[in-house]
Amino acid sequence: MASLKEIRGRIGSIRNIAQITRAMELVAASRMKRAQDAILAARPYSDEMRDALSRVSGAVGEEVDPLLARRPVRRVGLIVMTTDRGLAGALDANTVRTSLRFVAERASGRGNGAAEVNAVTVGRKGREALRRAGVPIAAHFPRLGDRPTFADVTPIARLVVQDFLDGTYDEIAVAYPAFVSTLTQRPTTSTILPVQQPEGLSEGEAARTDEYLFEPTPEAVMSRLLPHYVAVDLYRAVLEANASEQSARMIAMRSATDNAHELIDDLTLVYNKTRQATITREMIEIASGAEALGG
């Protein structure tokens, strides 16, 4: 049985940890509100731009811009967004698991031919996990901080756009934890390039139902819009990941604090029982000694 001094030391250590986790919970809560507001403000623009470009791409055809080209998928670039610091529950593990499932599905082909997947990691946790899993990593970017800006995402967008244009990849996808609510973050993968057609419509149907006038030319318009669309889609994924990270960290730190308090209560009970047993034993020893002396 542990001594009273050891139990007191454990209680003190756990109490210090509880203070740290409580402080981290408060910090995450303050950042979470800002991150949630940012993603809720960005979603409508991103959704409308994706919908509009998917319809326009179906109307103009692949010959207008190389970013619309649909090639047999032999190599895929997967952008994986995780955290740098961890301490966010199962957030990173779920994102990595979804990414590895995506890699396995593309490697198996699913009837469309096998494809090799290279990763572009954003965040240290994803890079470490994918490296252990043996997934090739083409590039790595650190997390973009608690207040990511559109300019922070531009180098990533420029890299993957150039790789698609050079034929390094036939498809670009992104894996990230989508923010659903404070308690729920859903790991998601979505295709960025080539631009996807509207759901439920074939290419021919999209071309027949939409008619556009371009000024000056379709090529000039699409050459400006498509790279911007890629950056917007990536920026949304970064904001989703940031909101998910802060929410998951707040919940994880709250659970850690609650568990620490429960452990302190259990150890306090053990401490009191041990102290009571020690006092009883000492009283018995004193009584026995007095009886022996009196005899």
Query: Does residue 187 contact residue 252 with C-beta atoms inside 8 Å?
Result: no
Domains detected in the chain: 21-252 (3.40.1380.10)
Q: Is the pLDDT of residue 208 over 70?
A: no
Percent of the chain with pLDDT over 90: 31
In whole numbers, what is the pLDDT of the chain averaged over residues? 84
pLDDT tens, 156-183? 999 999 999 888 898 999 999 999 888 8
Q: How far apart are CA 96 and CA 115, in angstroms?
A: 19
Q: What is the pLDDT averaged over residues 8-27?
A: 90
Give the per-residue pLDDT at 80: 93
Counted residue by residue, the chain has a size of 295
Q: What is the pLDDT averaged over residues 266-279?
A: 86
The structure tokens 């499932």 sit at 101
Q: How far is CA 224 from the centre of its chain?
A: 29
Q: How far apart are CA 195 and CA 204, in angstroms?
A: 15
Q: How far apart are CA 233 and CA 154, in angstroms?
A: 11
Percent of the chain with pLDDT over 70: 91
Give the per-residue pLDDT at 206: 46
Q: Which residues contact 255 (CB under 8 A, 6 or more apart)?
A: 89
Query: Does residue 175 contact residue 80 with C-beta atoms inside 8 Å?
Result: yes
Give the per-residue pLDDT at 1: 58
pLDDT tens, 64-120? 778 888 888 889 999 999 988 878 888 889 999 999 999 998 888 765 668 889 999
